[in-house]
């Protein structure tokens, strides 16, 4: 039987990409004599992004899809390490937003670290995901079937109800009137203060409910249950509206991306790069940039009409995104690199990752539990703002560099590339509802994961995902799949080939 896989011609692809990498880095070296440091850093970022993208595309056998985890990660990396410094060079005289000084050698080192880590991630991701189905179509979702589905449905509904109940307690603590008024006033200081007073575990109920409802929605969609899709979707919308009005992107953006992943997974005709290139920037502005402008306009006393006008003003869009601290991860990372190179900040040697392991333990139980890397770096590099509860992000590449230097950044992102490639392969070869749910959750938080450290931001992924996966485990889903060869991880294409 003819295979629907397209065998990658690595004998040509890999040497070609390798030659391109050598030529690209040689170009950076040559132009380095003629460009100033800020412009050279932009060139380094651009060349490394191109090399990484070509490696992922070539080594995987040219099956990187327009709507995929890698595509979203590439976009986030490009915005932070190419577009952001490029904007600074053109409109801000190549100055670091935090120090006001011109980008220096530390900024250039930060660009090399980020570029090398991104290339490492891309190479390993491409190698691990090279067995993706490449016939141009996307296999549909496989629903949860058998006796495990009724149990899973009941457990997910229980989590959703419990999560909504916890969130209602949070609303009661800050006051119903304040909660309703803040929805039309943006996320000002009063809102942040009120949220910090309320227990974070009550506020996290919103995430618990969202994850459970998303998994239910995916399952209803896979079963063709329109009524279930409508009811679950309406509940998700009701939970997302308040965060949408206040511009809290960390709540509604993952839901929107997850639903987009579900939609793309259902498009059996394949995906068009042309449409993504055409509509992708619009989606980025609407989903990521405009909400920040909206909430800041409202919180400063502006009207709803003025907020809408500001959110679509091109000057505001670029100035409040590429020209603001919202994307200045390379600026903060450069300050960290400078502190480490000068010996002021010692390498953590892996100890900062303890913050991730200790995250589930309440600080009331363990008062001295390790702080996440973002908190450590903010306390050391920006003590004045850290004391006021204001923190800045240093990008995903900051944490491995803080622990192990550039070699650590390369190795850590190779491991992350292998994990992401494995998840992508399990989904794109005809994933089950559970596979696609995990993939969609990670994809939904890819911008947050790229902007901040892993030990801090992965906790945000676990809040909606972990309770839903615990329900899957308790339902007996995994044991039933191990007894059913058709429901195992083997794809339809592989079974056809084997026969």
Contact 250, 463 (CB under 8 A): no
Per-domain residue ranges of the chain: 148-322+449-483, 329-387
Can you give the pLDDT at residue 309? 53
**What does the pLDDT look like over 181-199, one tens digit per residue?**
655 554 444 444 444 444 5
Instruction: Give CA–CA dist 470/127, Å, rounded.
Output: 30
5-9, 169-173, 232-236, 428-432: range with highest mean pLDDT: 232-236
Q: Which residues, 6+ apart, have CB-to-CB distance to 324 below 8 Å? A: 97
Question: Which of 426, 425, 444, 446 has its CA nearest to residue 435?
Answer: 426
Question: Which of 238, 256, 244, 201 has its CA nearest to residue 441?
Answer: 256
**What does the pLDDT look like over 421-479, one tens digit per residue?**
888 877 766 678 888 888 888 888 888 889 888 877 887 888 888 899 999 998 887 77
**What does the pLDDT look like over 2-19, one tens digit per residue?**
334 344 454 555 566 666
Can you give the pLDDT at residue 413? 95
Give how far the C-alpha of residue 118 lies from the chain's centroid of Cα atoms, to the nearest Å.
14
> For the chain, what is the mean pLDDT?
76
Instruction: Give CA–CA dist 40/51, Å, rounded.
Output: 16
Question: Which of 171, 174, 184, 177 has its CA nearest to residue 295?
Answer: 184
Residue 483 has pLDDT above 60, yes or no: no
Can you give the pLDDT at residue 319? 63
**What does the pLDDT look like over 145-164, one tens digit per residue?**
888 899 999 999 999 999 88
Q: Report pTM.
A: 0.80
Can you give the pLDDT at residue 124? 92
Can you give the pLDDT at residue 222? 86
Instruction: Give CA–CA dist 171/178, Å, rounded.
Output: 9
Which is it for the CA torsion 297, 298, 299, 302, positive or negative?
positive
């Amino acid at each position: 039987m003819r295979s629907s896989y397209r065998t990658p011609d690595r004998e040509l692809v890999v040497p070609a990409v390798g030659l391109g990498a050598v030529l690209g880095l040689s170009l950076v070296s040559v132009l380095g004599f003629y460009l100033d440091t800020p412009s050279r850093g932009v060139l380094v970022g651009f060349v490394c992004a191109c090399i990484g993208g070509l490696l992922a595309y070539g080594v995987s056998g040219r099956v990187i899809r327009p709507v995929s985890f890698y595509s979203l990660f590439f976009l986030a990396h490009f915005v932070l390490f190419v577009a952001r410094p490029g904007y600074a060079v053109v409109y801000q005289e190549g100055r670091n937003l935090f120090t006001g000084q011109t980008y220096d050698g530390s900024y250039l080192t930060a660009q090399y670290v980020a570029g090398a880590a991104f290339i490492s991630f891309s190479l390993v991701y491409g190698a691990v995901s090279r067995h993706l189905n490449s016939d141009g179509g996307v296999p549909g979702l496989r629903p949860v079937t058998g006796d495990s589905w009724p149990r899973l449905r009941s457990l997910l509904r229980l989590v959703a109800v419990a999560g909504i109940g916890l969130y209602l307690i949070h609303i009661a603590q800050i006051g119903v009137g304040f909660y309703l008024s803040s929805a039309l006033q943006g996320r000002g200081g009063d809102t942040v203060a009120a949220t910090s007073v309320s227990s974070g575990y009550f506020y996290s109920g919103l995430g618990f409910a969202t994850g459970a409802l998303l998994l239910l929605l995916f399952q209803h969609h896979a079963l063709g249950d329109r009524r279930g899709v409508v009811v679950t979707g309406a509940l998700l919308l009701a939970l997302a509206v308040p965060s949408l009005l206040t511009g809290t992107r960390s709540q509604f953006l993952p839901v929107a991306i997850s639903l987009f992943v579900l939609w793309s997974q259902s498009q059996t005709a394949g995906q068009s790069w042309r449409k993504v290139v055409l509509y992708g920037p619009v989606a980025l502005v609407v989903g990521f940039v405009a909400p920040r402008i909206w909430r800041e306009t409202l919180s400063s006393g502006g009207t709803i009409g003025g907020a809408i006008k500001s959110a679509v003003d091109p000057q505001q869009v670029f100035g409040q995104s590429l020209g603001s601290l919202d994307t200045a991860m390379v600026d903060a990372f450069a300050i960290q690199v400078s502190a480490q190179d000068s010996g002021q900040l010692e390498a953590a040697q892996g100890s900062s990752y303890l913050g991730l392991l200790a995250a589930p333990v309440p600080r009331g139980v363990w008062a001295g539990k390790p702080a996440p890397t973002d908190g450590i770096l903010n306390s050391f590099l920006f003590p004045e703002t850290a004391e006021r509860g204001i923190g800045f992000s240093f990008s995903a590449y900051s944490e491995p560099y803080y622990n192990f230097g550039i070699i650590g950044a390369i190795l850590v992102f190779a491991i992350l590339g292998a994990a992401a490639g494995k998840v992508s392969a399990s989904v794109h070869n005809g994933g089950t509802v559970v596979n696609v749910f995990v993939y969609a959750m990670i994809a939904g938080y890819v911008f947050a994961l790229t902007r901040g450290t892993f030990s801090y931001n992965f906790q945000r992924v676990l809040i909606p995902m972990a309770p839903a996966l615990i329900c899957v485990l308790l339902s007996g889903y995994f044991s039933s799949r191990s007894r059913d060869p058709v429901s195992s991880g083997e794809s339809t294409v592989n079974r056809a080939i084997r026969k």
